[in-house]
Structure 1
Amino acid sequence: MARVIYNTASTLNGFIADEKNSLDWLFEVESADGGDLESFIHRIGVLVEGSTTYEWVLRQERLLEEPHKWAGFYGDRPTFVFTSRDLPVPDGADVRFVCGPVADALPAIIDAAGERDVWVVGGGELAGQFLDAGALDEIQVSIAPAAVDGGAPLLPRAVGARTLSLRRVEQRGQFAHLSYDVRKG
C-alpha cells in the first residue's frame, strides 16, 4: 500500500521558501552526497505538488526550454499538480493537473503510485490539505542552518504533539533530517 510522504527542506525558523518564493537560502547550505535522496526517490511512484512549486521548478531548471532534463529529476513518474489554472507542460513529461479537494484526487494518485509511495513535494499548504484529509502518513523535513524573515511556512496548520510521532533524527551534511509518522484519528 502506498504511503503518502511530505518530504521537504526548511529553514531553522520554519519556512520552505522566502517572501519572494526563493530557495537561495537552501542552495547556500553544504549538503550531503545525495545518496539519501536517491534512496528515497527509488521508493516513489508519484509526485504531487502545488502550482507554485511546479512553476518554480519549471523556471529554475528551465524545463520548458530543456524538456529532456525532466526525466533526470522525475524519471517516468507521473506528477500531479494541484491548480485551477492552465499551465505549460515540458515535452514528454507525465503531468496531470487536478483541481479541487485532495480527497477527490486521492484515488487517482494512489492508483498511479501502484506499490510505491507518493511524495508530496510541496508546498506546505498542499501538505496541510493532505493532513486535513487524513491522507498524510509521514513528514520528513531537512532543517537547514539558515533563517529567513518570512515566506511560505513549512506546514501552515496547528498540529498537536499527539498527531506526530518522531521516528528518526539524522545528520545529513549541515542538515538535521527529521522523520515523523502521522498518527491517524
Structure 2
Amino acid sequence: MPEVRVMALGVDPQGSRPLLVLQETDGRGRVLPIAVGIPEAQAVELERSGARPERPQTHALICNVVEALGHRIEGVRITEIRDGIYHAELRLDRGVTVSSRLTDAVTLALHLELPILVEEDVLAAGATELAVVNVEDDQDEEIAVDESGEPVVDPDEVEAFRKFLDQASPEDFDKPS
C-alpha cells in the first residue's frame, strides 16, 4: 500500500477552496489533491507548523482518549472514495480500526508522526502524476530547495494563506462561478 506525505496546503485553481495535497513518498511520486474545509485546513496547518496550543485541539484530545483507554494509534489509511468523499481509518494496536474523516486522520498522523497509507485504487482514481521541472526565474536563478530537495516555502506566502484561512467564511466558497 503506497505511503503519502502532506506536500502542501493551498487553494484550488479557481481560488474557492483549500486543497490538501498529498504526495506519494515512493514509486511514481503521484500527488493526490483533496478539497477540504477551512477549519480542517487550519488544523492540518497547525500541526505542520509544530504549534502546540495551550489546550488540546480535537485531534490531540482523540489521541489522549485513545491512550487513556489503553490503546495506541499506529497509523492511518485512506481507504476509499465514495460519492466524491475520501474515507479513512485509524489503525490502533491490537488490530482495532476506527472509521475517520480523511482530514482528521491526516491531522492525527501529523500530530503523532505516523505514516499515512493509501489504498492503491484510491490513489489511482484521484492522483495525478507529478511532473518535476527545473524552473528558473527571469534572472536565471534556480528555485531554492532544502536538503531533502523540497522547494523552500516563502514565509510571506504561508502567512498570506493563514490570513486567508482566518478571514474566510463558508459563504466565500458558495459563490457561483
Q: TM-score range by the shorter chain?
A: under 0.3
From the two aligned structures, give the one with the greater strand fraction. 1
Normalised TM-score (structure 2): 0.26
The higher-RCO structure (CA 8 Å, 6+ apart) is 1
From the two aligned structures, give the one with the greater helix fraction. 2
Which of these two proteins has the greater Rg computed from alpha carbons? 2
